[in-house]
Amino acid sequence: MEKNGNTENLQYENGNSFTSNCSTQTTQFDGLTGSQQPSHDTADAFGSLFKSAPRPGYGISSTDKDAWYYNMHHKYRGKAIIFNHENFQVRDLKSRAGTGLDCINLEVSLKNLGFDVTPYVDLTLAELDRKLDYWAKEDYTNYDCLLMAILSHGEQGIIYAKDGAYKPEDNLWGRFTGDKCVTLAGKPKLFFIQACQGDRLDGGVQLRTQVDGSSSFKIPVYADFLIAYSTIPGFYSWRNTQKGSWFMQALCDAFNKYGYQLDLLTILTFVNRQVAIDYESNVPGAVQMHQQKQIPCITSMLTRLVKFEKKN
């Protein structure tokens, strides 16, 4: 949701607060004291265990097992899918002015990197489901990777389509795991989410500067994913109604400058820095919202470095 008030040109995608607690425990050994038992692995879980059955046969890895970089020399760069949501039929969700510019800028940046880009606008849940099902069944044998961007409202753990909310882990990247989309197994699957993850604000803190081809191997089905959120869990994500969202502005700028020079995680580190340092909300008419900060959140399950190479 968005609360305009006297927010001038700045808006944010609303959600719920987030809390997290963790504790530490000492290492324990199985068996009687002094006994010698074979080493084994155990899960940090309580309750039922659901087995993941290996898919029959093999996925084909186009990258050597010990390679540092993903193979980015397939015939095609990759498919890039953009789901842009500006208008909604959900109560209290206002239109996202400025997201059209985000979509255009991102499409241009991705095409410059060699992606085949397909944008969608204001899909309903049913339409989104059909499009995702279509792309999950595509053959990506001749592609380097898959990239998907979602521009929408959100709350912690959910993203909004035009007429309702969905869980991204089930509906987005969950459809492209190595066991379900075999031609993407071992290839980068990159997801960029511009949406709120909560309703908390970040006021920032002031700083002063001081001076082998025949071998086979098994990988987890969720390996080779990268999920980049515009903000951390529990917090607002800011968007300028005329220039677009902070995250997409910084991401497109970094892709345009460094897309062929640096690896993806390094590029995203620069995006984090730009959003964190160069942007601050300008809402003088609403003291609580004024001079607030934002930091993107990157979750990487990548097993190698992603570096885009120019195609011939």
Sole residue written with tokens 């934002």: 294
Task: Provide the pairing of β-strand 225-229 with 297-300.
Answer: antiparallel
Q: Is 181 known to be catalytic? A: no
Tokens of 152: 């929408």
Residue owning tokens 């191997």? 217
- 85, 153, 181, 252: the active-site residue: 153
Bridge partners, 225 (sequence order): 189
Q: Which member of 196, 252, 290, 297 is catalytic?
A: 196
Strands 225-229 and 189-194: parallel
The secondary structure of the chain as a DSSP string is ----TT-TTEEE-----------------SSSTT---------S--S-----PPPSS-PPPSS-TT-SB----SSEEEEEEEEE-----STT----TTHHHHHHHHHHHHHHTT-EEEEEES--HHHHHHHHHHHHTS--TTEEEEEEEEES-EETTEEE-SS-EE-HHHHTGGGSSTTT-GGGTTS-EEEEEES---SB-B----------TT------TTTTEEEEESS-TTB--EEETTTEEHHHHHHHHHHHHHTTTS-HHHHHHHHHHHHHHH-----TT-GGGTT-B---EEEE--SSB-------
User: Any catalytic annotation for residue 145?
Assistant: no
CA distance 27 to 258: 44
Question: What positions carry a catalytic annotation?
Answer: 153, 196
